[in-house]
Amino acid sequence: MTKNILRRKIMKKFFDYFEEIICAFGLIVMTIFTFIGVISRKLPNVNLSWTMELVTTVFVWVCALASASVFKTNSHMGFSYIMEKLEGKPKFIHKIIRIIIIFANYTIWIIYGFRMVMMQIKSGMVTSVMQTPGYLIGLAIPISAILSIIRIIQYETRHN
């Protein structure tokens, strides 16, 4: 019984900090492989050009997941500034309009993001150096949109 409770707590913490965990790991990977890539340029007969492709791919994912994580605390730069200035009914109306616009935006990201991924799969597109399937990069768009919607719902249900 206690193992199940502990597992649930660990899984809950992991999901609560999912984006931050992946972003932290991604930043570590980016730092290590950027360093390796820079050092390898100074060594004769060593070609590690794939490190820059890896770093670019990880960067896309870090940016996408970081944009989703800000909604957990309502700390999106533009939104918090406006929300702090409003009070009462205008604040509530702004909140509803903001949520509708965000949901519409991320719905478009999900629809067209998955269309883009499907086209990348059908075309067999791969990256130039590592020959990684292109859709692994493209998936960052719809996945970050889904996570953003989940985090907005979580924030609004916890703070109302």
Categorize the per-residue pLDDT at 1 as very low, low, confident or very high, splitting at 50, 70 and 90.
Answer: low
18-57 pLDDT per residue, tens: 899 999 999 999 999 999 999 988 888 888 889 999 999 9
DSSP code string of 7-58: HHHHHHHHHHTHHHHHHHHHHHHHHHHHHHHHHHHTSTT---THHHHHHHHH
d(CA 92, CA 76): 17
Name every residue whose Cβ is closer than 8 Å to that of residue 143 and which is 6 or more positions away in sequence: 64
Name every residue whose Cβ is closer than 8 Å to that of residue 104 and which is 6 or more positions away in sequence: none
Query: Average pLDDT, whole number, for the chain?
Result: 89
Amino acid 108: pLDDT: 97
Q: What are the C-alpha distances in Å from 64 to residues 56, 92, 143? A: 12, 28, 8
Higher pLDDT, 150 or 78: 150
Q: What are phi and psi of 17, to 5 degrees?
A: -115, 20
Categorize the per-residue pLDDT at 160 as very low, low, confident or very high, splitting at 50, 70 and 90.
Answer: low
Across the range 92-106, mean pLDDT stands at 89
Cβ 138 vs Cβ 116: under 8 Å: yes
Amino acid 91: pLDDT: 82
DSSP code string of 42-98: TSTT---THHHHHHHHHHHHHHHHHHHHGGGTT--HHHHHHHHH--HHHHHHHHHHH
User: Could you tell me the two tokens for 152?
Assistant: 């907005």
Q: Give this prediction's pTM.
A: 0.84
57-76 pLDDT per residue, tens: 999 999 999 988 888 877 77
Amino acid 6: pLDDT: 84
Task: Give, as one character, the DSSP assignment of residue 118.
Answer: H
Amino acid 77: pLDDT: 64
